Structures are given as structure tokens and as C-alpha cells.
Amino acid sequence: MSQFRQTAPALKNQYDDDRVLRSYLERVLPADVLSEIHDSLSEMGRLAGGELYELQLADRLNEPTLTQWDAWGNRIDKIELTPLWRVAERIAAEHGVVATAYEQRHGSLSRVHQGALAYLFTPSTDIYSCPLAMTDGAARTLLNSGNQALIDRAVPHLITRDPKEFWTAGQWMTELTGGSDVGLSETLAKQEPGSNTFRLYGRKWFTSAIASQMALTLARPEGNPPGGRGLALFYLETRDEHGSPRNIQINRLKDKLGTRKVPTAELTLDGTPAQLVKGPVEGVRNIAPLLNITRLWNGISAVALMRRGLALSADYASKRVAFGAPLSEKPLHVDTLATLQAEFEGAFHLAFYVAELTGRSETREISDDDALLLRLLTPIMKLTTGKQAVMVASEVLESFGGAGYVEDTGLPVLLRDSQVLPIWEGTTNVLALDTLRALQSDGDPRQGLRRFEAAVMSCVANVSDDAVRVVRAALGHAASWLADAQGDAVEAGARRFSLTLGRTMELALLIKQAQWSLDHKAINSVRRFASLGVDVIF
Ligand SMILES: Cc1cc2nc3c(=O)[nH]c(=O)nc-3n(C[C@H](O)[C@H](O)[C@H](O)COP(=O)(O)OP(=O)(O)OC[C@H]3O[C@@H](n4cnc5c(N)ncnc54)[C@H](O)[C@@H]3O)c2cc1C
């Protein structure tokens, strides 16, 4: 028998151990703010690398269950979450993973603080970020709606730190007819005579976090025209005071590739009571604040999962020996991981830049130009980081060899869970088309692109490096493509164009961070990212 024993990869405190996060926070936060939030981040880093990670590994085979009937033939549609998710809910509330953004103890920078908490929390909780993202998005949407009755009723629950009072929210848009083209939605809303309450009738085809206490959903009030404009945004509570579903049948839970801890259900609404959030039309427009927040969470989740894979892979490389030395001393293995690290760092800075802009938008400290930039960067960031997450997760698995393909290492789930990031909250193509719309926000797409160029160039001002030439060349190509493309070629090229803008902004932000820190690792990531292909337009 071989005496050989392979040491498993291990995690340290995920805040203390994260050069990229710590260096970024030092750059963007005033020293007193950083010192005030240090303990909350260090504690979350400790949980994420310790107790939560151990629980995650122990919980690996558990999945949520749906019990449709009780022993006496009553329809109950009860959802049981896994132990990891029950703990995750408590920790999320107590540590203010949603609340921090609304308490605004540090003004607009509270979004950055919250983003950092979410980034540390997410990879050890098997996509508990999904209900939190929708909870955060629902709070923002209700606050923006000005509907005081609903704000008073729901928002205190959504942003509390008290686990007993904490509610999560669902977002029910996708129907069988389509998740991209939601204007085709068939759910009907019938107003109760003499009342403000509507009753909803229809089927929702993907509803994640179905254990949530409330949801925001789209339905068409009777008599409204077809299309997105004729839909209205509704608020509903999922269960009555006895815990019974309010005329909602959970038909089944989806059997999914990944996100298997997330109870994603197919529903029938059969007279579900609901309130209008903001008028009887324009539901798609009125739910936009929710999507902006969930897309930000999607980007933060993408970088969080990349970081987790790389933390495990780097540790393993120091423990796994091949051809006489640890993998961490093999130039090709080191080179392979450095490429993934550069992709992760680019994605990290883009996601957190969008968090900065979101925070300034929420505290109304944003200029008109930056508000338009945020509108443009949100879809760009979501689609770019989603693609990077899948690529990095796939390579991370390969960096473990066969172990990366074996379930009880806890590694394959990284790839499965990452694969959802380019799909939900708008697929890559749908967001690429949205990028084109965002460029036209004030009428002239060339003006929109010039604003983007100005933001990019402000990151690299006073830097002379070959990487800046790559930035300039990509911007020039994007501008000439936009000026020349005609007819169907505009839509056909939208994905390559949007990815080029995303990667260009990532490189510019990497340069900015490296110039500030003068850290040789950050500088290496700049050089590598610049050579990996920033301009993908052809
Ligand atoms: C795990 C999971 C959980 C989910 N949870 C929720 C939830 O809680 N709430 C919710 O509302 N939805 C949820 N969804 C649904 C998700 O948002 C949709 O699946 C997604 O928006 C795509 O919609 P679809 O599945 O109908 O695909 P389709 O809209 O049919 O798209 C199919 C393909 O066509 C492409 N496409 C569509 N239109 C165009 C176009 N104009 N040009 C080019 N390409 C185009 C898309 O990019 C895609 O590749 C969830 C999905 C998953 C996988």
C-alpha cells in the first residue's frame, strides 16, 4: 500500500488573504472608513474561510425539497431549505449583507462595503446571493416607487439585521413564453370590484428563492394592451398568516445543472392577491431598478466565485507535487494561474466600479454623465464578468487535474454555479442589445461612446505604458465599428462590441489600480490582461 497522502486545499481568512480586495479598498475608501469597516470584513472573511466553508462541504449532498401534500390530503406546497441555507440566512441578516447598503453609514461608499461583504459571503453559501440580490433589488424598487404603504409594509423587513424579522424577496418575470421577451407575458391581473387589490392568474416558469415571503412580479391588468408597456408591476406576499400559500401552487422544483441549493420553482397563480407598485402600466420599466441591483450582484458573485476557485487552486499548487517539485514551482502551471488571476482582477475592478457608481446614484451624488455611464456599464459589466466566471471556473477545475472533476472535493459546483451567471438576469445577447440601447440614452450613440471613452481615459491619464496603447486601440476600433456598422450588422456584432467595451474598461481600471499601488503583482496582471485579447471586434 502506498504511504502517500495528498493534503487537501484549504482556505485562510478570506479577507486577510485577499490582496486584490484589500488593495482596492485602500484606494477607494478614506482611511477612517476602512478602519471602521475592517472588523466587519475580517469577521466575514473568517466565517467564509472557516465555519461556513466547512458547513458548505458538509451540506454538499443536501438539496431543498418540496412537499406538495400533507398526510391528510391538503395541498401545502412546503419548501424545506438545506442546513447551509438556514445558517446563511441568519448570517446574512446579522451581518447586514443587504442592510449595509441602506443604513448608508458611509454614504455612497456603503455600496462598496456591502459589495465586499457580499463578495466574501457568496462563495461559501451556495448562491444564497440569489435571494439576497432580489431582496436588495426589491427594497430599492419599492423605495424608488414612492408607494408609501408598500414601503412601510415591506422595506423594514428587507433591510433589517434581525433574523426573526428578515424577509427575502422573489422576482417573478419569466414565463413559458420567454424570459428575454417578457412583453409576451400572459399572466392576467383582475381588479377586485371596489378595491385596490388585484388577483393574478397565470404561470411563472422560473421563480428562484420560492421560500421568500414576498415577490415583485409582472402581470397584465385586464384590458391593457399587449407588449411590455401593458404589463404592470405588482407586489404580493406569498403566504397567509397560517403559512399557507396565497392561491399559489408550486408545481415542481426545477432539476438544474447548478445552483442546486436555490429552490427554483414553476408556479401557477390562481387568484393570488397583489397590489400595484406604481401604476397600471409600464411594469417592465418600473422593475428596472431591481434588475440593476441584481445585475450588480451577478457581477459581484462572478468575481467572488472566480476568487474562491483561485484561492483553492493557489493553495493546492503549493501542496501537490509533480515531476519533483510542487506545482507552484512549475513555470507553466504558474503561468496558467497568472492568466486566470488577471481575468479575475479585471472583472473585480469592473464589478466594484459599478458598485461605486450605484452607491453615488442612490445617494444622489452622481453627475448626469456618470448616471448615463452607470446605465451603460451595468449590462456591460454583467455580461463581461459572467463570461469570465465560466472560463475561469473551467480552468480552475483543470488546475486540480482529476480531483477538479470529482464531486466530493467540492470543486465541480464552482463550474456548475458559474454557468448560471451569463443566463439569468439577462443573457449575454440580451444585455449586448441593451448596451446598444444604453448608448442611445440621450439620442446619439456616438455621444454615448464618447462619454464611455472619457471615463476610460480618465483611468489611464498620465500613465505611459504599452497597456495604455491597447486601451486606445480598442476604443478606436469600437468607435469606427459603431460608425460603420449598418442594418443587421449592428445587432449581429453587439456581443463582440459590448465585450470589447467591458474588457477595455477592465484594463483601464487595472491600470489605474496598478498605478496607484505600484504593486508588482498588480502590474503583472495589467501586462497579462493587455496581451489576452481586449478588442474582440472583427
Ligand atoms: C437557475 C435559474 C433561475 C432563474 N430564476 C429566475 C427568477 O427567479 N425569476 C425570473 O423571472 N426568471 C428566472 N430565471 C429565468 C431567466 O431569467 C431566463 O431563463 C433568461 O432571462 C432567458 O430567458 P429564456 O429562458 O426564456 O430564454 P429565451 O428568452 O428563449 O432565450 C433563448 C436564447 O435566445 C437568445 N436571444 C433572445 N432574444 C434575442 C435577441 N433579440 N437577439 C439575439 N439573441 C436573443 C438568448 O440570449 C438565449 O440565448 C432563472 C433561470 C435560471 C437558469
- Ligand 1 midpoint to CA 336 (Å): 33
- Ligand 1 midpoint to CA 346 (Å): 26
- Ligand 1 midpoint to CA 257 (Å): 15
How many other C-beta atoms can be found within 10 angstroms of the C-beta atom of residue 454?
A: 11
- The predicted pLDDT at position 129 comes to 97
* CA-wise closest residue to 350 among 302, 314, 294: 302
Q: What residue owns the CA closest to ligand 1's atom 17? A: 424
Q: What residue owns the CA closest to ligand 1's atom 30? A: 178
Pocket (CB within 6 angstroms of ligand 1) = 171-174, 178-180, 206-208, 256, 259, 264, 420, 423-424, 427, 429-430, 433
Which amino acid, 472?
R
In the block, residue with C-alpha cell 391588468? 221
Q: What residue owns the CA closest to ligand 1's atom 52? A: 424
- Ligand 1 midpoint to CA 361 (Å): 28
437 SS3 class: helix
User: Per DSSP, what are the bridge partners of residue 178?
Assistant: 175
- Ligand 1 midpoint to CA 71 (Å): 37
In the block, residue with C-alpha cell 488573504? 17
- The predicted pLDDT at position 1 comes to 82
Cβ burial, residue 62 (10 Å; 0-12/13-18/19+):
middle
C-alpha cell at position 368? 448626469
Q: What residue owns the CA closest to ligand 1's atom 39? A: 430
Buried b (16+ CB within 10 A) or exposed e, 236-251: bbbeeeeeebbbbbbe
- Ligand 1 midpoint to CA 291 (Å): 13
- Ligand 1 midpoint to CA 174 (Å): 7
Ligand 1 atom closest to the Cα of residue 429 is 47
C-alpha cell at position 465? 505604458
Tens digit of each residue's pLDDT, the chain (538 residues): 899 999 999 999 999 999 999 999 999 999 999 999 999 999 999 999 999 999 999 999 999 999 999 999 999 999 999 999 999 999 999 999 999 999 999 999 999 999 999 999 999 999 999 999 999 999 999 999 999 999 999 999 999 999 999 999 999 999 999 899 999 999 999 999 999 999 999 999 999 989 999 999 999 999 999 999 999 999 999 999 999 999 999 999 999 999 999 999 999 999 999 999 999 999 999 999 999 999 999 999 999 999 999 999 999 999 999 999 999 999 999 999 999 999 999 999 999 999 999 999 999 999 999 999 999 999 999 999 999 999 999 999 999 999 999 999 999 999 999 999 999 999 999 999 999 999 998 888 999 999 999 999 999 998 999 999 999 999 999 999 999 999 999 999 999 999 999 999 999 999 999 999 999 999 999 999 999 999 999 9
- Return d(Cα 334, Cα 311) in angstroms, integer: 13
- Return d(Cα 5, Cα 372) in angstroms, integer: 56
Spatial contact of 507 and 515, defined as CB atoms under 8 Å apart: no
Query: Which residue from 172, 430, 436 has its CB within 8 A of the most atoms of ligand 1, so it is best to mutate?
Result: 430
Spatial contact of 470 and 507, defined as CB atoms under 8 Å apart: yes
Which amino acid, 438?
A
- The predicted pLDDT at position 529 comes to 98
221 SS3 class: strand
- Ligand 1 midpoint to CA 97 (Å): 27
- The predicted pLDDT at position 199 comes to 98
